[in-house]
Amino acid sequence: MARTSRRALKAAAPADRGLERVSLAIEPALLQEFDRLLAARALGNRSEAMRDLMRKRLVEDHAADDRGHGVGTLTLVYDHDQRELSDRLVEAGHAHHANVLATMHVHLDSHLCLEVLALQGPVATLRAFADRVLGLKGVLHGQLVLSSTAVWAGRPARPHRHRAEGVARAGR
């Protein structure tokens, strides 16, 4: 880095994306392992991978705080034949209607169902809801995955449009 000319640095710095260049001290063996992982999993360059790790840690930290507000998904695989389970799932959803943004249901076979619920609300409430649902008899497997919108609150505002919207409009 010390041998890189100032002009070369400036050319390489992605200033237009609002990024800040930092240097890190890392053990060579650790860096080598990391580079190996990046190549094997096609995770992009070191900078992108480090940004991903930092965001992951920030989201984890935010989601670990029960006082915070979270968004996330609850994935369930359950046995449709289990007595009263469907009713109990519907009841649980209605009891937390303000937290359940959407539900996707897939019939996996003649007995098994996959359900994915998009959730939003106080982290403590979402955890309690997930615990209640995952604890129901007949729910075979499931997991709550929490994310956060608060972690990104400081990011620069940009116009928000999804590709699908553009495609839909173009098709009209």
Dihedral of the alpha carbons of 19, 21, 22, 28, in degrees to the nearest 10: 110
Among 107, 111, 137, 141, binds Ni ion (CB under 5 A): 107
Closer residue to Ni ion in complex, CB, 68/79: 79
- Contact (Cβ atoms closer than 8 angstroms) between residue 132 and residue 94: no
| Residue 99: how many other CB atoms lie within 10 Å | 21
CB of 135 to Ni ion, least distance (A): 20
Q: How far is CA 53 from the centre of its chain?
A: 12
- Residue 111 sits in the site that holds Ni ion (CB under 5 A): no
Q: Which residue has the tokens 């990104």?
A: 152
Which CB sits closer to Ni ion, 112 or 118? Answer: 112
Report yes or no: 86 and 148 within 8 Å, Cβ to Cβ: no
CB closer to Ni ion, 63 vs 78: 78
Segment lying near Ni ion (by CB under 5 A), choices 94-102, 106-114, 137-145, 153-161: 106-114
Distance (Å, rounded) from C-alpha 114 to C-alpha 130?
Answer: 15
Q: Does 113 bind Ni ion (CB under 5 A)?
A: yes
Residue 126 binds to Ni ion (criterion: CB under 5 A): no
In whole angstroms, the minimum distance from the beta carbon of 167 to Ni ion comes to 30
Q: In the complex with Ni ion, which residue's Cβ is closer, 26 or 106?
A: 106
Closer to Ni ion by CB, 68 or 93: give it.
93
C-alpha closest to that of 96 among 143, 68, 137, 129: 129
Summarize as ranges the residues that interact with Ni ion (CB under 5 A).
107, 113
